[in-house]
């Protein structure tokens, strides 16, 4: 399983990275986890977006889903697509209200929203308790603790397992999500600070404590807000988890 970082900036794009978006590849199958601001452009450096087999959205904050509107334009209006996008609709596994949310993102006014149905080129599948299979991938959604309905994804393929937290504050489900994984791709939005808001994001230390408690083999830190001190976040994570730990970077590829 190969992981490519399309974007890793938290909350909004930074000077060196789009917002959150991750490409996973295995055996010729390609899935994306989130498509934040700027990630569709980055994706085109690695694959043709028409090669995607599914997209999973952890939640519907813009820094995780804003480029869905651009993907809709690509699939609806590309003059020379490699296949008929209406005959091969792209599965979109997302929160239940995603069709309405994405129609509002795509359409500029109430009149067009009333007529917009993106199911011509997308197959919307609400996130559920049952795992989703896409080629060699099995993806299990686990509810997280955030400002809105949010899920982490546990992705298995080729005998390897990657856990992606999406956005979350500390919660018991994180240990379930990350139990014995080969790679924990965890948000670490900021370094520890007094009075950090609960149920919003993790610090580097908190992400590392999850990795340790869950017996993860490797920790990759992502979703760092542009104003945060990246090296401070990395240092506090390494102090709490003795396994391999690093900050991801946009356009980097990792073997899981």
Length of the chain measured in residues:
256
User: Is the predicted pLDDT of residue 114 greater than 90, yes or no?
Assistant: no
- Strands 122-126 and 90-94, how do they pair? parallel
- Looking at every residue in the chain, the average pLDDT score rounds to 96
Per-residue pLDDT tens digits for 1-55: 999 999 999 999 999 999 999 999 999 999 999 999 999 999 999 999 999 999 9
- pLDDT range class, residue 112, cuts 50, 70, 90: confident
C-alpha pair distances (Å), 112 with each of 105, 156, 229: 11, 40, 43
Task: Taking residues 181-190, report their average pLDDT.
Answer: 97
Provide the 10 A C-beta neighbour count for residue 148: 10
**Contact at 8 Å (CB) between 239 and 206?**
no
**Closest of 235, 241, 182 to residue 211, by C-alpha:** 241
CA distance 152 to 157: 17
By CB atoms closer than 10 A (0-12, 13-18, 19+), residue 51 is middle
User: Is the predicted pLDDT of residue 115 greater than 90, yes or no?
Assistant: no
Task: Taking residues 160-184, report their average pLDDT.
Answer: 97
CA-based torsion, 172, 174, 175, 179: positive or negative: positive
**Contact at 8 Å (CB) between 181 and 208?**
no
Q: Is 237 helix (H, G, I), strand (E, B) or coil?
A: helix
DSSP-derived secondary structure for 49-96: GGG--EEE-S--SHHHHTTHHHHHHHHHH-SS-SS-TTTSPEEEEE-T
What pLDDT does residue 138 have?
Answer: 98
What pLDDT does residue 231 have?
Answer: 97
> What secondary structure, in 3-state letters, does 174-216 show?
HHHHHCCCCEEEEECCECCCCCCCCCCCCEHHHHHHHHHHHCC
C-alpha pair distances (Å), 180 with each of 156, 163, 222: 12, 10, 19
What pLDDT does residue 193 have?
Answer: 85
**Contact at 8 Å (CB) between 76 and 110?**
no
What pLDDT does residue 132 have?
Answer: 98
Tell me, rounded to whole angstroms, the distance of Cα 170 from its chain centroid: 18
What pLDDT does residue 251 have?
Answer: 98
CA distance 37 to 19: 5
Task: Taking residues 149-153, report their average pLDDT.
Answer: 97
What pLDDT does residue 154 have?
Answer: 98
**Contact at 8 Å (CB) between 183 and 217?**
yes
Q: pTM score > 0.85 for this model?
A: yes
**Residues 6 or more apart in contact with residue 79 via CB below 8 angstroms:** none
């Amino acid at each position: 399983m190969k992981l490519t970082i399309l974007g890793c900036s938290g909350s909004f794009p930074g000077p060196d990275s789009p917002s959150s978006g991750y490409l996973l590849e295995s055996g010729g199958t390609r899935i994306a986890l989130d498509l934040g601001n700027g990630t569709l452009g980055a994706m085109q450096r690695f694959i043709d977006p028409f090669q995607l087999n599914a997209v999973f959205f952890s939640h519907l904050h813009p820094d995780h889903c804003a480029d869905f509107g651009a993907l809709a334009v690509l699939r609806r209006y590309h003059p020379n697509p490699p296949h008929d996008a209406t005959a091969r609709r792209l599965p979109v596994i997302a929160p239940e209200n995603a069709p309405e949310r994405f129609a509002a993102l795509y359409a500029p006014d109430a009149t067009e929203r009333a007529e917009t149905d993106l199911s011509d080129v997308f197959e919307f599948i609400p996130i559920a308790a049952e795992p989703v299979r896409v080629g060699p991938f099995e993806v299990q959604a686990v509810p997280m603790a955030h400002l809105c309905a949010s899920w982490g994804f546990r992705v298995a393929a080729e005998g390897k397992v990657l856990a992606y937290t999406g956005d979350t504050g500390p919660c018991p489900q994180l240990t379930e999500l990350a139990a014995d994984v080969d790679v924990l791709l965890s948000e670490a939005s900021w370094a520890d600070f007094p009075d950090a808001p609960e149920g919003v994001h993790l610090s580097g230390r908190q992400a590392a404590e999850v990795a340790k408690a869950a017996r993860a083999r490797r920790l990759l830190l992502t979703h760092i807000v542009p104003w945060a001190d990246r090296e401070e976040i990395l240092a506090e994570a390494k102090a709490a988890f003795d396994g391999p730990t690093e900050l991801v970077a946009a356009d980097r590829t990792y073997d899981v």
